[in-house]
Amino acid sequence: MDERSNRQALVSRILTFSCVDGPGNRLVLFLQGCNFNCITCHNPHTINHCNHCGDCIATCPTAALTMDERGKVLWHEAQCTNCDKCTDVCTHNANPRIKRYTVMEIRELVRMHRFFLSGVTVSGGEATTQLPFIIELFAALKSDPELKHLTCFIDSNGHLPQSAWEKVSHCLDGAMIDLKSWQNDTHRWLTGRDNHRVIPSIKYLARVGKLHEVRLLHIPGKSDLDTEVEPVAELLNSLPDTVQVKLNAFQHHGVVGEALDWEKCSEAEMNRFHQLLAARTGDRRLTLPRVYL
């Protein structure tokens, strides 16, 4: 990579230590913007980019938001108390607290924390909507003698076409892919998008040894991974034994709109789904949720 690269990402949040976003302890970048519009999204303010309408400015109790002379909303981080009032009031599913980071700035942040890290995960929003940044960041980490041992992961909805996965796979160590529904109509209703690329993404990443985890979201009476358990199990059985399968239970935390009226996935309901799948997937370990909120 060109050392002078100034490629930037729009970042909503950075965690310098996480043990739930891939193997080991990881630095996680949450990028702003998503190409799905899930009814059940737990972080809906990460979906869109701010349109600078200014509606959130007056709600800020610390004057951390202002409008500049060009009509752009500015966020003054030092004054922000992270009360979330601005994202609560935004009807555009956006967030005014977005920062731009260059590849080099993130590389230096990773370097600062390198002794405590197993790797870096790029999440979202949908991470792959900023794929050129990810490719340059991972290439920068892989070419740095002090950082090349760190693994590079992407947490994704799987909507990326194979041709784009091929561009990043040389510097990717693992991907975690969400499968939200099997039938295309159900998937389109839940996410606003077809799932015609999600299952091919899972298969392609498995084929090239880059699939770390598949996550199955169970929404009782709404998603169809339980009623379509035969093809779902067939897909899981086609994956290498090293691929982890995680079962996610629909909960209300962070959700807005109609899905708040939907039944949460209880432990008993998740156990029913687990038994359906386990009966068809042999020895494969299916990880259950640890908590039900």
Distance in Å, CB of 63 to ligand SF4, minimum: 8
The DSSP secondary-structure symbol of 264 reads P
172 binds ligand SF4 (CB under 6 A): no
Shortest reach from residue 99's CB to ligand SF4, in Å: 12
Is 82 among the residues that bind ligand SF4 (CB under 6 A)?
A: yes
- For the CB of residue 68, give the shortest distance to ligand SF4 in the complex, in Å: 12
**Nearer of residues 25 and 93 to ligand SF4, judged by Cβ:** 93
Quote the CA–CA distance of 149 and 138 in Å, as a whole number. Answer: 12
Residue 1 CA to residue 141 CA, distance in Å, equals 10
Contacts of 47 (CB under 8 A, 6+ apart): 33, 34, 36, 37, 41, 93, 94, 125
Q: Are strands 151-156 and 119-123 parallel, antiparallel or unpaired?
A: parallel
Q: How many helices (H) and strands (E) does the chain have?
A: 8, 11
Decide: residue 93, CB within 10 A, 0-12 exposed, 13-18 middle, 19+ buried.
Answer: middle
Binding of ligand SF4 at residue 98 (CB under 6 A)? no
Cβ-based nearer residue to ligand SF4, 54 or 192: 54
Near ligand SF4 in 29-58, by CB under 6 A: 50-56
Min dist. Cβ of residue 35 to ligand SF4 (A): 18
Instruction: Mark the segment that binds ligand SF4 (CB under 6 A) among 34-42, 93-101, 109-117, 213-221.
Output: 93-101
User: Taking the complex as a whole, how short is the minimal distance between the CB of residue 250 and ligand SF4, in angstroms?
Assistant: 26
Q: Which stretch binds ligand SF4 (CB under 6 A): 29-37, 61-69, 134-142, 277-285?
A: 61-69
Separation between Cα atoms, residue 9 and residue 184, nearest integer Å: 31
Q: Among 28, 31, 41, 86, which residue interacts with ligand SF4 (rule: CB under 6 A)?
A: 86
Specify whether the CB–CB gap between 243 and 281 falls below 8 A: no
Read off the tokens for 36: 């799905």
User: Which residues make up the interface to ligand SF4 (CB under 6 A)?
Assistant: 50-56, 59-60, 62, 64-65, 73, 75, 80-86, 90, 92, 94-97
